[in-house]
Amino acid sequence: MSLDMNLNYLPRLPRRKDWRIGCIGAGFIMRDCHLVAYRQAGFNPAAITSRKLEKARAVATQHQIATVHRNIEELLADKSIEILDIAVPPDMQAAVLRQAAAHGDHLRGILAQKPLAMSIKDARDVVERCQKAGIALAVNQNMRYDQSIRAMKDILQRGVIGQPVLGTIEMRAIPHWMPWAENQRSLSTFIMSIHHLDTFRYWFGTPDRVLASTRPDPRTKFPHTDGINLYILEYDSGCRATSWDDVWTGPAREGSESDIYIRWRVEGTDGLARGTIGWPSYPAKTPSTLDFTTNGQAGWLSPRWPEVWFPDAFVGTMAQLLCAVEDGTEPEIGGRDNLETIALCEAVYAAAKEHRVTTVREFLV
| Cβ neighbourhood burial of 257 (10 Å; 0-12, 13-18, 19+) | exposed
Q: Which residues contact 251 (CB under 8 A, 6 or more apart)?
A: none
Whether the Cβ atoms of residue 229 and residue 212 lie closer than 8 Å to each other: yes
**CA 254 to chain CA mean position, Å:** 30
d(C-alpha 16, C-alpha 125), whole Å: 30
Cis preceding-peptide flag for 311 (omega within 30 of 0): yes
| pLDDT band (50, 70, 90) for residue 3 | low
pLDDT in tens, 289-347: 999 999 988 899 999 999 999 999 999 999 999 999 999 999 999 999 999 999 999 99
Residue 13: its pLDDT value, please?
98
Res. 1: pLDDT tops 60: no
d(C-alpha 102, C-alpha 138), whole Å: 17
Q: Measuring CA to CA, how many Å separate 305 from each of 2, 299, 338? A: 20, 20, 28
Residue 297: its pLDDT value, please?
86
Q: Measuring CA to CA, how many Å separate 223 from each of 216, 219, 236, 260, 295? A: 8, 11, 37, 24, 49
* Domain parsing of the chain, residue ranges: 20-143+315-330, 144-309+342-364
pLDDT in tens, 252-279: 999 999 999 999 999 999 999 999 999 9
CB atoms within 10 A of CB 183: 10
Q: To the nearest whole percent, how much of the chain has pLDDT over 90?
A: 97
Whether the Cβ atoms of residue 306 and residue 289 lie closer than 8 Å to each other: no
d(C-alpha 93, C-alpha 123), whole Å: 10
d(C-alpha 294, C-alpha 328), whole Å: 39
What does DSSP say about strands 164-172 and 261-268: parallel, antiparallel, or unpaired? Answer: antiparallel
Confidence (pTM): 0.96
Q: Measuring CA to CA, how many Å separate 88 from each of 93, 97, 118? A: 6, 11, 13
d(C-alpha 112, C-alpha 338), whole Å: 11
In the CATH scheme, what architecture does the domain 20-143+315-330 have? 3-Layer(aba) Sandwich (3.40)
d(C-alpha 280, C-alpha 297), whole Å: 32
pLDDT in tens, 171-214: 999 999 999 999 899 999 999 999 999 999 999 999 999 999 99
| Cβ neighbourhood burial of 193 (10 Å; 0-12, 13-18, 19+) | buried
**Side-chain-facing half-sphere of 119: CA atoms under 13 Å:** 9
**Side-chain-facing half-sphere of 246: CA atoms under 13 Å:** 16
Mean pLDDT rounded to a whole number for the chain: 96
- Could you list the beta-strand ranges (E) of the chain: 20-24, 44-49, 67-68, 83-86, 109-113, 136-140, 164-172, 209-215, 228-234, 240-246, 261-268, 271-276, 289-294
pLDDT in tens, 14-26: 999 999 999 999 9
CB atoms within 10 A of CB 150: 21
DSSP string, 288-324: -EEEEEETT--S-B----S--TTTTHHHHHHHHHHHH
Average pLDDT over residues 130-156: 98
pLDDT in tens, 217-250: 999 999 999 999 999 999 999 999 999 999 999 9
d(C-alpha 352, C-alpha 346), whole Å: 10
Phi, psi of 27 (to 5 degrees): -85, -165
In the CATH scheme, what architecture does the domain 144-309+342-364 have? 2-Layer Sandwich (3.30)
Res. 2: pLDDT tops 60: no
Whether the Cβ atoms of residue 321 and residue 111 lie closer than 8 Å to each other: yes
